[in-house]
Amino acid sequence: MSASGSTPVQNDVAIDVDRLRLVLLRLARKIRTSSVDRITPSQLAVLATVSRNGRLTIGQIAESEHVKPPSVSKIVAALEQVGFLTREADPDDRRCAFITVTAAGAAYLDEVRVAGRTWLASQLADLGADDVDAVAEMLPVLERLLEVGE
């Protein structure tokens, strides 16, 4: 890779990896910050993880989020306090608890998703048809990028 962040790919086209990374990060941040912000980004990530995966332990959330269990415990406690998550003791192992999303937490996630979707749709509406088509054509490629690292 060159100092500019460009890297060659199969068909000899150079991609400015740093520029792509920055654009993707900023776009994701704009989508997140266009929404309701009653909780922190870390709290939102944990809430979304539990919503997506169902009943999880603190350890499972920590593994999924790539953070330490004590950090997840603090986040879960804050989300319990606002009524977005609930903790239920494992009947077979009282040392373990299962974390689940409440109806209020699910409603909040829906609100966040709608706000982000609305912002993104308004941004796309400001682009020309050719640009929107180009973005649409890139979706399968970007989805494959996500799968490559998994």
Q: What is the residue range of 103's domain?
A: 13-148
The model's pLDDT over 39-92, given as tens digits with 9 standing for 90+, comes to 888 899 999 999 999 999 999 999 999 999 999 999 999 999 999 999 998 788
The model's pLDDT over 126-138, given as tens digits with 9 standing for 90+, comes to 999 999 999 999 9
Q: What pLDDT, on a 0 to 100 scale, did the predictor assign at position 150?
A: 63
Q: Quick check: is 131 in a domain?
A: yes
Q: Quick check: is 2 in a domain?
A: no
Q: What pLDDT, on a 0 to 100 scale, did the predictor assign at position 99?
A: 96
Task: Please check the confidence at residue 149 and state whether its pLDDT lies above 50.
Answer: yes
Q: Quick check: is 72 in a domain?
A: yes
Task: Please check the confidence at residue 4 and state whether its pLDDT lies above 60.
Answer: no
Q: In this structure, are residues 16 and 2 in contact, taking their beta carbons and an 8 Å threshold? A: no
Q: What pLDDT, on a 0 to 100 scale, did the predictor assign at position 2?
A: 47
Q: Quick check: is 8 in a domain?
A: no
Cα–Cα distance for residue pair 24/7, rounded to 1 Å: 17
Q: What pLDDT, on a 0 to 100 scale, did the predictor assign at position 5?
A: 58
Residue whose pair of structure tokens reads 């989508």 in the numeric block = 31
Q: What pLDDT, on a 0 to 100 scale, did the predictor assign at position 38?
A: 82
Cα radius of gyration rounded to whole Å, the chain: 19
Q: In this structure, are residues 35 and 116 in contact, taking their beta carbons and an 8 Å threshold? A: yes
The enclosing domain of 63 has a CATH number of: 1.10.10.10
Task: Please check the confidence at residue 33 and state whether its pLDDT lies above 60.
Answer: yes
Total domains in the chain come to 1
pTM: 0.73
Q: Quick check: is 7 in a domain?
A: no
b/e sequence 59-88, b meaning 16+ C-beta within 10 Å: ebbbebbeeeeeebbebbebbeeeebbbee
Q: Quick check: is 60 in a domain?
A: yes
Q: Quick check: is 83 in a domain?
A: yes
Q: Quick check: is 6 in a domain?
A: no
